[in-house]
Amino acid sequence: MSEFCVIGSGISGATIANLLNKKNSVILFDKARGPGGRASFKRIKGNIGFDHGTQYFSPKTSEFKKFTKDLIKKRILKVWGGKHIFLNSKKKENKKHLKIIGKNGNNDISKYLLKKINCNYQSELKKIHYKNKLWHLSFADGKLRSFKSIILTCPFPQLKKLSKRFINNSFLKKSIKMDANITTMIAIKKNKKSNSSYLFEDPILGWAGNENSKKRFKSKYDLWTLQSTFKWANKKINQNKNNKKENSKIMIDKFFQLSNIKKTKINFSLNHGWKYSSNSKPFKIKSFWDPKKKIGVCGDWFVGPRLESGWISAQDLFKKISR
């Protein structure tokens, strides 16, 4: 029996699993097809694909800067060059902050951290139960597993549903609204003068990133990742599955209008909705650990909306477990 079970392979799950695995046996489960969480890479063919969640990392803390610098040396990460167009007057652009991306996809951090971990994908956790000092887990495929310790890294609404009977702490009683995001991925006629990205000031479209500019692959098309604003996605997300074509068209039309790229044929289009994209209002604690029941929680939503926040939360949880 593994000592620790980690749920989720995003930056928080991958980080805490990696740290714990140095002195404990660890097993990880994730409902997705592969690692990365909201930093997933949508592969289309070969190495061609889209960073349809997290777009890049700009480290803020000295600890995360050191971590990413080491991964750049190891060629896991690299700097995203090219021309990034900043069109949002409501936000201040800090040109000193590098845009760091995965060499092959933005889930490269999770892949690197999970190299030595026993990972089980397409394994959706449905229910947990605590009895006789063991955690009993029920999965969507009907499988039952038991563990001495459990680490949950899922979004806050899912965490609350799973664990409200077993965690007695004020943070779980809070009512937070995690922001949604709708991503549209398109392939269009190649433009030699294409920029690397755009940050817009628009009520619907917030961001557009040129995947070709990341120099991971060669394609006869320009691949663009379009991401909505939180405000627009919060209104649309619950019906996005039924309105994918309509929502994507609105975002695509906005993209051509705001970027001044000549409108052309859409050769390929995909829509993905992130219902629980981020929480912009951090908690007073960075993670949670119950040493008696051996249940822990970490996630970016404890600290803030950035990918780095998830890494900070996992580091904090590891310190609590190690005391």
| Domain boundaries of the chain, sorted by first residue | 4-55+106-176+283-322, 69-105+179-278
Q: What is the pLDDT of residue 1?
A: 59
Q: What is the pLDDT of residue 5?
A: 97
Bigger pLDDT: 160 or 89?
Answer: 160
N residues, the chain: 323
Give the integer Cα–Cα distance in Å for 104 and 209: 15
pLDDT over 80 at 110, yes or no: yes
Give the integer Cα–Cα distance in Å for 252 and 45: 22
Q: What is the pLDDT of residue 174?
A: 83
Q: In sequence order, which ranges of 216-297 are alpha helices (DSSP H)? A: 230-236, 244-259
pLDDT over 90 at 282, yes or no: no
pLDDT over 90 at 60, yes or no: yes
Q: In sequence order, which ranges of 21-104 are alpha helices (DSSP H)? A: 62-73
8 Å CB contact between 62 and 69: no
Decide: residue 85, CB within 10 A, 0-12 exposed, 13-18 middle, 19+ buried: middle
Q: What is the pLDDT of residue 11?
A: 97
Q: What is the pLDDT of residue 185?
A: 98
Tokens of 277: 């994209």
Query: pTM value?
Result: 0.94
Fold adopted by 69-105+179-278? Polyamine Oxidase; Chain A, domain 2 (3.90.660)
Mean pLDDT (whole number) for 79-88: 91
Q: What is the pLDDT of residue 176?
A: 82
Give the pLDDT band (50/70/90) at residue 323.
confident
Give the pLDDT band (50/70/90) at residue 230.
very high
Mean pLDDT (whole number) for 103-116: 97
CATH among 3.40.50.620, 1.10.10.200, 3.50.50.60, 3.90.850.10 for 4-55+106-176+283-322: 3.50.50.60
